Amino acid sequence: MHSSADSAQRPPQKTLAHGLRARLLPLVSSSKAAALVRVHSGSHDAPIAYPGLAHFLEHLLFLGSRNYSAAEGLMPFVQGCGGQLNASTRERHTDFFFQLPASQFEEGLHRLVDMLAHPLLDPEAQLREREVLHAEYLARAQDAETLCDAALGCAIDPPHPFGGFHAGNRSTLPVEDPGFQASLRGYHCRFYHTGQIELLLAGPQDEGVLQRLAEQMDAGLAAHPYVSRKTLPLCANANAWFRLQLSNAQPRLHLAFALDQLPERAGPALDYLSVWLASEAPGGLSQRLREAELCQSVKLRTPYWCAGQGVAVIELLLTERGLDDRAAVVDAVLDWIAFFSDDARWQPCREEYQLIRERSLQNAEPLARLRYWVEPQAWGLDSDEAEIRQALRSLTAQMLAAPPLVLTTDMSDCPPIETCGFPLRLKTEPPQRTAPAAWHWQQPAMNPWLKPNIARREAVDITPALRWQGPEDMSGQGALFLRWQWVHGQSSTALWHAVAHALQPAAWAAQQAGVTLRFEDFGSAWCFRLEGFAEAIPAILSDTISVLSVPPAEAFAEGVALANRDAALGNDEMLIRQLLKHLPRRLTNAAEVDGQPAFIGPGSLSRRWQSAQWSGLAVGFAPSLGGPLADAIYSLPGTPAVIPTDHSKPAAVKRWHDVRGDGATAETGFLLFCPLPDRTAKCEASWRLLARVIEADFFRRLRSELQLGYALFSRFCQFGEQAGMLFAVQSPRASAKEILEHVVKFLDDSAVKLADQADSEAERAARQAGNQHVDSRADFRAQAEQAWQCLQAGHELDRSAEVAAEMRMLQQQDLMAAMDALRGDDASWVAVANAPAPDLSWR
């Protein structure tokens, strides 16, 4: 069995012949491979005259290179393989990363090195991409966290670049100017070479193969030495209090610490501190502040961190009382930091922290591991604990030496201020004072799920409502899925929010123990999932059933508030993500029986559970875990039942859900979900393949050519029992009606393109997709997810193999038939948008 200690071994770094630094991580049991490139230059290294140039170049690298056109490059290639890909420009580094089936890894790396070394930087493509980047700027100008960081930058003493504008927009990127073009190419030449780049590779290939692939990357890049850059002192306006006006956002308090001249191990020391700051453990900071009705959650984030300096922000989601008494919150946080920095906390907390990190790495996907190990000084088994302890002393001493910057964000009226970047409504405030409270902090209780103490035994009798799928997973993973179906209609979203809110501490503790806990609302059903370290799952389920059945009384009032906030659409989260949370509930025709009640309580939930029938699936568990799991299952609310699935065809209607609520936003969000027209394996296979074939074209047409917006995608997906095609667009300039017209036009044009393509091309894509659909079953989480989707849709557990077999045999006419069904007048479409329906053809 793969141990957590193996996962915590830091992959050694080696310097290759031309200067590229590489870390190689062979993962024998994985079906996927991943690559991450870190270029040691970022937005703070761009010419001052052209804010956003580094970010702009990151975008441009995906738009074609010497050996691969934009249509053949890394992004469409990874999308066509069903993989994932992204890039990120930070202050002092830029990351490019992807994950895909291991069989396609080398082809992906060829594209990656070519786009890094030989980008086309075509002027026409630059003009189009500038509009995409400007759309991203407009979206970020609505984002609460972005505006908060911009406001904090106003308190940092110049000339440190943290206070500057680096995202870029239409006005800062004069593509037509020869001087800008010279700077763009000069920046690429200065930083995109072996001396400035780290490469991390992970996959099932042996180390020799990964070494060969790394050497190919090393040889394909220009060879130059490392370019050192000067770091300016980081100083802040001490004891400054600010207020930032944000519409439709929950009140938050941000305590910002400007840190400089930190020791080398300050990175893992800060990560260690952040784990305990955000801890939901009994007796911890978050729970004590919640009990005092001052705040709902605490987290630490670092908008800037480089070369021994950084800005660390402790963010607290405030209650009304906390908003009125912010000085008490500030005092409590600083008092807790002083308590936690005491040497008496170190030993017990350090041991638990190590277990948490080991567990998080144990079953992480290849890309997640690379993103962990790329961080300098990330904790590993070889870390020098004494140096981290000393760094923690230095870190907390700086945090306590001077008052933090205090930023309140809420809907209070503030005047607009002049900025060269994001628009801010900001004002200074006199610092509040409060009498220090005696908090009497205690050591947080240890997470019991990190070392579950269970008596293993096989199950004697398990209800048929819970399906078991074996064999035991040899890496120690398990997955448990439970679904409650409401016998009478649909549940109240307020009740779901109440239960979900009450489950937050359990979700936090489960994540530490290597288990992902998710609780989902599908309108006519609720779904509870536990996936990860199998040995912990019976204990987690047993301990959370009481919260599911009878949440604390205060959770019900919070449920109503959260449901109302959910309906209003706010600025706390990206618009398209908010709509995606609404979509699953809108796919059912059942009416919401409770509406949005002004009051809910234990009686409301008890009646819901009495009318609920549950079914589930357990995947990958050892037989000796069957007994503890069966004991926990026995106590579930509701009635176990093998629930028949509705096999009727979706109604041939077009439904539109306007979810604007009371919220107002400058952008338009639009989702279009098209459910499968029938339940056959061939229909599912052809739609899955069609989704993969058109995904890259959809992205390129709407994002690059039409420049509708920054955030958009299309893919095949399943919500509860409903599978189908999803199109999603967030746009700063197009209306929902215009977006719909563009989607329809894209589908019409795609049908023409399909008709003109060679039969052999469709057959090749079908074989590749079918093979990958089967290969993905070697990945435990993909296997478990496929099995659960099959059961929810009313299929047998061998459905995915049947779909893969059908996929391999698909031909050109099958793809065209799928496209016709998707576009037909009798197709069932469900739209969700923050806008009214465009005409009366929509219900």
Per-residue pLDDT tens digits for 564-582:
888 888 777 889 999 999 9
Q: State residue 56's pLDDT score.
A: 98
Give 237 or 272, the one with higher predicted confidence: 272
Q: Are 323 and 174 in contact (CB under 8 A)?
A: no
Q: Please list the active-site residues.
A: 58
Q: Which residue has the tokens 């568990």?
A: 621
E-strand stretches of 70-196:
84-89, 94-101
Q: Could you tell me the two tokens for 251?
A: 């009140």
Residues 6+ apart with CB under 8 A from 6: none
The candidate with the shortest Cα–Cα distance to 263, out of 387, 383, 162, 381, is 387
Taking residues 392-408, what's their average pLDDT?
A: 96
pLDDT one-digit tens code per residue, 242-296: 999 998 888 999 999 999 999 999 999 999 999 999 999 998 999 999 999 999 9
Q: State residue 497's pLDDT score.
A: 94
Q: Are 810 and 754 in contact (CB under 8 A)?
A: no
Mean pLDDT of the chain: 92
- pLDDT of 739 > 50? The answer is yes
DSSP letter, residue 834: S
Q: What is the CA radius of gyration of the chain?
A: 27
Q: Identify the sign of the CA torsion 524, 528, 531, 535.
A: negative
Give 193 or 800, the one with higher predicted confidence: 193
**CA 729, CA 708: separation in Å to the nearest integer?**
8
Count CB atoms within 10 A of the CB of residue 557.
15
Q: State residue 4's pLDDT score.
A: 47
CA angle 675, 679, 681 (to 5 degrees): 110
Query: Up-side HSE of residue 113: CA atoms within 13 Å toward CB?
Result: 19
pLDDT one-digit tens code per residue, 618-634: 999 999 999 999 999 99
CA angle 207, 200, 695 (to 5 degrees): 110
Residue % of the chain over a pLDDT of 90: 78
Q: State residue 420's pLDDT score.
A: 82
Q: State residue 760's pLDDT score.
A: 87
Taking residues 62-73, what's their average pLDDT?
A: 96
Taking residues 811-819, what's their average pLDDT?
A: 94
Q: State residue 546's pLDDT score.
A: 95
Which SS3 state, helix, strand or coil, does residue 664 take? coil
- pLDDT of 595 > 60? The answer is no
Q: State residue 566's pLDDT score.
A: 83
CATH 3.30.830.10 positions along the chain are 4-220, 241-433, 449-640, 654-833
- pLDDT of 780 > 60? The answer is yes
Q: Residue 568's Cα: distance from chain center in Å? A: 22
Q: State residue 598's pLDDT score.
A: 65
CATH number of 4-220: 3.30.830.10
Q: State residue 120's pLDDT score.
A: 98
**CA 370, CA 23: separation in Å to the nearest integer?**
9
Q: State residue 439's pLDDT score.
A: 94
Residue 833's H or E segment, with its range, is strand 829-833
**CA 180, CA 52: separation in Å to the nearest integer?**
12
pLDDT one-digit tens code per residue, 338-388: 999 998 889 889 999 999 999 999 889 999 999 999 998 899 999 999 999
2 — pLDDT class (breaks 50, 70, 90): very low
Residues 6+ apart with CB under 8 A from 672: 726, 727, 728, 740, 743, 829, 830, 831
The class (CATH top level) of 241-433 is alpha beta
Q: Work out the widest C-alpha separation in the chain, in whole angstroms.
A: 78
594 — pLDDT class (breaks 50, 70, 90): very low
The candidate with the shortest Cα–Cα distance to 807, out of 669, 664, 690, is 690
User: What CATH homologous superfamily does 654-833 map to?
Assistant: Metalloenzyme, LuxS/M16 peptidase-like (3.30.830.10)
- pLDDT of 591 > 60? The answer is no
Q: Are 133 and 55 in contact (CB under 8 A)?
A: yes
The class (CATH top level) of 449-640 is alpha beta
Find the Cα–Cα–Cα–Cα dihedral 36, 39, 41, 46, rounded to 10°: -90
**CA 57, CA 568: separation in Å to the nearest integer?**
37
Residue % of the chain over a pLDDT of 70: 97
- pLDDT of 818 > 80? The answer is yes
**CA 534, CA 545: separation in Å to the nearest integer?**
17
Residue 446's H or E segment, with its range, is none
DSSP letter, residue 63: S
Q: Could you tell me the two tokens for 218?
A: 């090393």
Total-model pTM: 0.93
Q: State residue 475's pLDDT score.
A: 87
